[in-house]
């Protein structure tokens, strides 16, 4: 049930209550009005059981057979006097039960009900209409309002962690947030520092918004939602004022989750010409920082934010006490894709399907693409007058989604996937067998931006200086992808261009900065430029002739590295094949799996 129908239900029950009360009151005061004479006669004849003074002049009486009589008297005269004058015996009076009617709660509340409540009711109804009208038509003018949306945690349509496939690490991190929101006192008591802000980073459709909503539902707290794209406004300062308003709303509803979606979109204004988008962006981001810094101790709000572009984020956002936790969501691997498909086919009619096969054919698809795929398959099945979605509809829909207008992420074909697998396996194998290159931590062939995949190699320790042989081994593994493509396909793809760039840069540094070239010897051919700060800017300190020698030396180093790389792969061709096949199947391999698969120690080739 949504908010609006609930309002109407409340209204209806209030009206009903009013009617019942009204009828009840009619019952109570239904009594017959009689003259004072008749009343006194009834008293004299011992017919009256109870007398109630309603006021100085009004009298209500109940007869012994249960009838109610009403009458009036002169307020200046007391009832006792009247009785005496009428000649009613004191024994009769003594037998009467006489009450002064209390202007008690009942009276007051009845008066309230009949006089004030109808007004309130009418006012309330008007208020509702007014609000609705305002929402409908005057949106543009409500600058100060954040346009914040709220999701009820008890909404039956809510999503929970069960509806989010895979992303186990992210869920685990968010469980901490959930626990805090559920029972903040527990954390405050022992003085634990609570996460103020959590940043979700991942490509479009990877489930950031979904996870945020699920977190709120798991915690059972309200979920306030604003989107950075809604901050795109014409005037500077609007974004900031919306942020202020959003935080004010959240503060009033603690504990709660405040979700700022599409953080990177904040303040992106183009072509307005009045003021730069830059300023607006700064102001809006600043306001977020100000608000988060202003959380008092004991604030029970967790701010979640999502972005597709961590690279454009202001580093100030990531400082402790702000978004001090970062959760990275990646595109789903083959296993995750299967799970996501399962979730989205849960309440659809299916028959004879092989989800593994669908997952195999959808490398690079995001969660959103897969959800879309399931929907397209259902539409296709209906159009084909089928009762169930079958494998055919699912496979036929892949292309539709690939070509669809809403795709943001790039997927690649089976052939491209194969190339990516050999390429990454090449990096990994070379890195593993050479002694001084960094160990492989993770290999992935899920497309990531421009690169087809990546091999993550991390130094085991933070070093302040390097040996030449370390550089050379590193260079060889950098060229491992290129070497593998050459070896396996007899050709090179454009996928290696980034590797070559980095390798060439490194080789050049060896020659001109570190004096590691045989031919040029121990000379530094570069100076840190005095006009720039930072290691990236160096000045050229050599002649044209030397420049030629440098180029030659760089080429030599690179060629040697490539030769070593090719040699390793030739010798370990079987491992290269094996690893590539596993990669094609699994798409992601972690360090442990990798080492088990290779089953030979690191650095066991001397080349
Ligand atoms: P983002 O905010 O990262 O761009 P969304 O959270 O909006 O992506 O995801 C879009 C849709 O894709 C979701 O509504 C859901 O249907 C589907 N989806 C994405 N990731 C998953 C997942 N891990 N499990 C199930 N469905 C997912
Ligand atoms: Mg989103
Ligand atoms: Zn590469």
User: At 14, which CATH number?
Assistant: 3.30.720.210
Same domain (yes/no): 193, 272: yes
**Does 343 contact ligand 1 (Cβ within 6 A)?**
yes
User: DSSP class of residue 57?
Assistant: S
- The whole-angstrom separation of Cα 367 and Cα 205 is 6
Ligand 2 centroid – CA 414 distance (Å) = 28
Q: Is residue 445 in a domain?
A: yes
Residues annotated as part of the active site: 424
Phi-psi region of 461 (alpha: psi -120 to 50; beta: other; left: phi over 0): beta
**How many beta carbons lie within 10 A of that of residue 527, not counting itself?**
11
Domain boundary among the residues 279, 308, 328 is at 328
Q: How far from the centroid of its chain's Cα atoms is residue 468's Cα? A: 47
- Is the per-residue pLDDT at 74 higher than 50? yes
Is 45 part of any domain? Answer: yes
Q: How far is the CA of 218 from the centre of ligand 3 (A)?
A: 40
If asked whether residues 467 and 484 sit together in one domain, one would say: yes
Answer yes or no: is the C-beta of 371 below 6 A from any ligand 1 atom: yes
132 inside domain: no
Domain harbouring 368, CATH code? 1.10.8.60
| Residue that is last in its domain, among 308, 328, 348 | 328
Q: Among 38-52, 299-313, 358-372, 446-460, which is the least confidently predicted range?
A: 446-460
Q: How far is the CA of 387 from the centre of ligand 1 (A)?
A: 27
- Is the pTM higher than 0.75? The answer reads no
User: Are 237 and 304 in the same domain?
Assistant: yes
Q: How many CA atoms lie within 13 A of 521 on its CB side?
A: 0
pLDDT band at 272 (very low <50, low <70, confident <90, very high): very low
Q: Which residue has the higher pLDDT, 145 or 585?
A: 585
Cβ of 208 closer than 6 Å to ligand 1, yes or no, is yes
pLDDT of residue 27: 54
Quote the CA–CA distance of 211 and 165 in Å, as a whole number.
10
Residues 315, 456: one domain? no
Q: Which residues of 365-396 are buried (b: 16+ CB within 10 A; e: fewer)?
A: bbbbbbbbbbebbbebbeeeeeeebbbebbbe
Alpha carbon 206 to its chain centroid, in Å, reads: 11
| Mean pLDDT, residues 138-163 | 65
| Pocket lining: 214 vs ligand 1, CB cutoff 6 Å | no
Highest mean pLDDT among 9-23, 311-325, 543-557: 543-557
Domain that holds residue 397: 334-402
Mutate to test the pocket of ligand 1, among 163, 170, 205 (most ligand atoms within 8 A of CB): 205
Q: What is the pLDDT of residues 383-437, one digit of tens each?
A: 999 999 999 899 888 877 876 654 445 566 778 888 989 999 999 999 999 999 8
**pLDDT band with cut points at 50, 70 and 90 for residue 242:** confident
Whether ligand 1 lies within 6 angstroms of the CB of 202 is answered as yes
Nearest bound ligand to CA 495? 3
Does residue 382 sit within a domain?
yes
CA distance 20 to 137: 39
Residue where a domain terminates, one of 368, 402, 436: 402
Mutate to test the pocket of ligand 1, among 168, 210, 306 (most ligand atoms within 8 A of CB): 210
> Are 387 and 346 members of one domain?
yes
Kindly state whether residues 422 and 396 are assigned to the same domain.
Answer: no
Please state the domain count of the chain: 4
Which ligand number lies closest to the CA of residue 200?
A: 1
Q: Are 203 and 309 within one domain? A: yes
CA of 143 to the centre of ligand 3 (A): 49
209 lines ligand 1 (CB under 6 A): yes
| Alpha carbon distances (Å) from 347 to 71, 341, 389 | 72, 11, 11
Q: 445 and 586 in one domain?
A: yes
Is any atom of ligand 1 closer than 6 Å to the C-beta of 419? no
Q: Taking Cα atoms as reference points, which of 190, 178, 256 lies closest to residue 223? A: 256
CA separation for the pair 213, 222 (Å, rounded): 10
Closest by CA position to 288, among listed 254, 315, 322: 322
Cα 475 to middle of ligand 3, angstroms: 12
């Amino acid at each position: 049930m949504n908010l609006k129908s609930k309002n109407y239900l409340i209204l209806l029950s209030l009206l009903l209550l009013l009617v019942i009360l009204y009828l009840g009151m009619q019952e109570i005061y239904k009594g017959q009005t009689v003259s004072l004479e008749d009343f006194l006669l009834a008293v004299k004849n011992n017919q009256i059981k109870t007398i109630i003074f309603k006021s100085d002049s009004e009298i209500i009486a109940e007869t012994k057979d249960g009838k109610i009589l009403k009458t009036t008297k002169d307020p200046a005269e007391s009832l006792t006097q009247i009785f005496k004058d009428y000649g009613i015996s004191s024994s009769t009076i003594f037998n009467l039960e006489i009450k002064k009617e209390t202007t008690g709660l009942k009276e007051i509340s009845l008066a309230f009900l009949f006089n004030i409540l109808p007004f309130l009711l009418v006012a309330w109804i008007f208020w509702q209409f007014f609000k609705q009208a305002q929402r409908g038509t005057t949106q543009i003018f409500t600058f100060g309002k954040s346009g914040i949306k709220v999701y009820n945690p008890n909404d039956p349509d809510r999503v929970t962690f069960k509806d989010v496939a895979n992303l186990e690490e992210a869920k685990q991190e968010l469980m901490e947030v959930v626990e805090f929101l559920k029972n903040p006192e527990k954390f405050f008591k022992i003085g634990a520092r609570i996460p103020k802000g959590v940043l979700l980073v991942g490509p479009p459709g990877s489930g950031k918004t979904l996870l945020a909503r699920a977190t709120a539902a798991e915690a059972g707290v309200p979920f306030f939602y604003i989107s950075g794209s809604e901050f795109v406004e014409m005037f500077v300062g609007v974004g900031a004022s919306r942020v202020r308003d959003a935080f004010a709303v959240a503060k009033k509803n603690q504990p709660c989750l405040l979700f700022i979606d599409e953080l990177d979109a904040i303040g992106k204004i183009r072509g307005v010409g009045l003021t730069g988008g830059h300023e607006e962006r700064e102001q809006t981001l600043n306001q977020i920082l100000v608000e988060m810094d202003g959380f008092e101790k004991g604030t029970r709000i967790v701010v979640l934010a999502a972005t597709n572009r961590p690279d454009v984020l202001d580093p100030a956002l990531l400082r402790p006490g702000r978004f001090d936790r970062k959760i990275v969501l990646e595109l789903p691997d083959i296993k995750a894709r299967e799970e996501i498909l399962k979730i989205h086919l849960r309440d659809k009619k299916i028959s004879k399907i092989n989800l593994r096969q669908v997952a195999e054919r959808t490398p690079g698809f995001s969660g959103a693409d897969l959800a879309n795929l399931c929907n397209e398959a259902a539409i296709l099945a209906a159009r084909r007058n089928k009762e169930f979605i079958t494998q055919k509809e699912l496979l036929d829909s892949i292309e539709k989604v690939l070509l669809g207008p809403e795709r943001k992420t790039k997927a690649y074909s089976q052939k491209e996937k194969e190339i990516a697998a050999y390429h990454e396996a090449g990096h990994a194998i070379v890195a593993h067998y050479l002694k001084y290159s960094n160990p492989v931590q993770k290999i992935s062939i899920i497309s990531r931006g421009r690169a087809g995949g990546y091999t993550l190699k991390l130094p085991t320790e933070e070093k302040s200086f390097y040996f030449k042989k370390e550089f050379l081994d590193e260079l060889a593994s950098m060229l491992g992808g290129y070497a593998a493509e050459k070896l396996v396909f007899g050709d090179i793809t454009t996928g290696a261009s980034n590797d070559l760039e980095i390798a060439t840069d490194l080789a050049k540094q060896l020659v001109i900065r570190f004096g590691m070239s045989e031919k040029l010897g121990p000379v530094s051919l570069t100076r840190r430029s005095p006009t720039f700060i930072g290691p990236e800017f160096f000045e050229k300190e050599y002649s044209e002739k030397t420049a030629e020698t440098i180029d030659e030396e760089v080429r030599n180093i690179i060629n040697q590295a490539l030769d070593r790389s090719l040699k390793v792969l030739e010798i370990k061709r079987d491992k290269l094949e094996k690893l590539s096949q596993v990669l094609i199947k699994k798409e992601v391999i972690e360090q442990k799996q990798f080492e088990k698969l290779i089953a030979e120690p690191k650095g066991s080739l001397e080349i």
